[in-house]
Structure 1
Amino acid sequence: MQPFLIFGLSASLGAMGELAGHERRGALDWPGRSAILGLMGAALGIRREGDFAALDALDVSVAIFEAGAPLRDYHTIETVPTAAAKRPNSRPEALRDARGRTNTTITLRDYRAGVFYGVAVQGEGLEPLCEALKKPHFTLYLGRKSCPLSAPPGAKLVQAETPEHALAHLSAPPWLCARGVPVARTLVEGATKGEVVHDRPVDRKLWHFAPRMVARRAVEIVLEAAP
């Protein structure tokens, strides 16, 4: 038996980013490591330029209860040609200096609608992290600021042999239970071989992420309604 911190992530809209290019920002069907570490950092009150060393050392597993439906949003963005920029101090200043020489492009942003995930965390410092998730310092989002959580995470500490055994103690939001007993059949965790995702934070200021291996493991995690 070992200690686990478990909590749930439910949202009407979630943005689980993968490789983000200029014209398209895709979405995984589960929250990547960078998203979960960022959410826990927000709960603790750590800003983007802060020290994430303790969080980076944690092991994280994610159970997919509701992967939701894919949703694509279309944005138009105005960009300034390099020749027109002239070292501005801000984007508004660059747009003013460009004087009609801007370019407009369409970008695609992918989301998942109606999601619920269970997260199991192993490592040091779980108790203060659990308390922070109960009373977060900053608002918790599932990816982008347009994706607030639809229910409190319900963080708790449990003793279990494996992440899936730990997540069996998770409480589901009542509206999910109204549709039937929530069941997860896939657990995503770090692995030595499997599929490659780019969700390991390297430079949070520059939004640089390194690849890592993850494996999808078949499980059956049955939850009960929240008390």
Structure 2
Amino acid sequence: MRDHLIFTLAATLGSMGELAGHARRGSWSWPGRSSVLGLCAAAMGIRRENDFSALDRLGMAVAIFAEGDPLRDYHTVQSVPSAAARRPQSRGEALRLARQSVRLGKGGAETSITLRDYRVGTLYGVALWGNGLAVLREALLRPAFTLYLGRKSCPLSVPLAPKIVAASDAATALTRLSLPPWQRGARAHAIATEEDLPGGRVETRQDRPIDRIAWHFAPRTVKILPCEIAPGVAGEAAA
């Protein structure tokens, strides 16, 4: 038996990262390690340049209740390369410099369309294990910064309802989740876990943060196990 910190992630709109270029920002169908640890760090008031080592040592599993429907936003981006050398202090100043450049025949703002992917109607359960769970639970109850699921445009639908439970594995611990009232009776159909368990399939994700300033991520191996996790119904978590 070991202690697990479990909590619920529900959002009308979520974006769970993926390898991203300038033209497209994708979204996985469930939150990876960087997403969950970033949310925990925000709750604890840890800024990107601060020490994440305690969070990096935590084990993690994610129960997938609802992956949501895909949504793509065609996002217009405007850049002002002609103004960059003059170091404008605001976007308004940069656009004024761009208009001046146009009048001088030097070119102005450049507009491009990029793609932003989201998931609509998501529900997940998270289990963490390791040291410092009690401190993290208190932070999730009273977060230092606003929490959201991936991007600032994706606020959480309900409080996280974190609790610490003792269980033999993450799937069993996740049967103790507190789901939103409109999701009572929901069942998870799979769990993505770092535990070395038999069965399932192995998936590699580039979601283990190694440099948060430069946005560098290392590969991580997770086991995807089909399971039946029904919070509030004892004995219905079986990998």
Q: TM-score, normalised by structure 2?
A: 0.86
Q: What is the Cα deviation at residue 67 of structure 1?
A: 0.8
Q: 1:202 to 1:89 in 2, by over 3 A?
A: farther
Q: Is residue 2:33 matched to residue 1:26?
A: no
What amino acid is aligned across from residue 102 of structure 1 in structure 2? A
In 2: Cα distance, 1:188 partner to 1:94 partner: 45
SS at 1:16 equivalent: coil
Equivalent of 1:202, from 210, 218, 226?
210
Q: 1:20 to 1:91 in 2, by over 3 A?
A: farther
Pairing 1:2-13 to 2, within 5 Å after superposition: 2-13=2-13
Q: Is residue 2:186 matched to residue 1:182?
A: yes
In 2: Cα distance, 1:47 partner to 1:90 partner: 24
In 2: Cα distance, 1:207 partner to 1:74 partner: 23
For structure 1, which segment, 83-92 or 18-27, has the greater mean C-alpha deviation from structure 2 after superposition?
A: 83-92
In 1: Cα distance, 2:87 partner to 2:94 partner: 5
For structure 1, which segment, 84-93 or 101-110, has the greater mean C-alpha deviation from structure 2 after superposition?
A: 84-93
Cα contact 1:182–1:224 (8 A) shared by 2:
no
SS at 2:43 equivalent: helix
Q: 1:194 to 1:95 in 2, by over 3 A?
A: farther
Query: Cα deviation per residue 1:94-121 (whole Å; 9 max; x = unaligned)?
Result: 5444434221110100011111100000
Counterpart of 2:159? 152
Cα contact 1:172–1:224 (8 A) shared by 2:
no
CA radius of gyration, larger in: 2
Pairing 1:64-83 to 2, within 5 Å after superposition: 64-81=64-81
SS at 2:61 equivalent: strand
Query: Cα deviation per residue 1:127-164 (whole Å; 9 max; x = unaligned)?
Result: 01011111111111100011111001000000000100
Equivalent of 2:227, from 213, 216, 219?
219
Q: 1:184 to 1:89 in 2, by over 3 A?
A: same
Equivalenced residue count is 221
Cα contact 1:85–1:97 (8 A) shared by 2:
no
Counterpart of 1:53? 53
Q: 1:94 to 1:171 in 2, by over 3 A?
A: same
Query: Percent of aligned pairs with the same residue?
Result: 55
In 1: Cα distance, 2:195 partner to 2:167 partner: 20
In 1: Cα distance, 2:225 partner to 2:86 partner: 50
In 2: Cα distance, 1:222 partner to 1:60 partner: 19
SS at 1:54 equivalent: helix
Runs of 4 or more off by more than 6 Å in structure 1? none
Q: TM-score, normalised by structure 1?
A: 0.91
What amino acid is aligned across from residue 190 of structure 1 in structure 2? E
Equivalent of 1:143, from 132, 150, 154?
150
What amino acid is aligned across from residue 164 of structure 1 in structure 2? A
In 2: Cα distance, 1:35 partner to 1:23 partner: 21
Question: How much is the aligned-residue C-alpha RMSD, in angstroms?
Answer: 1.9
Q: 1:191 to 1:122 in 2, by over 3 A?
A: closer
What amino acid is aligned across from residue 68 of structure 1 in structure 2? G
Counterpart of 1:112? 119
Counterpart of 2:236? none
Give ranges in structure 2 of 5+ residues lacking alignment. 103-107, 234-239
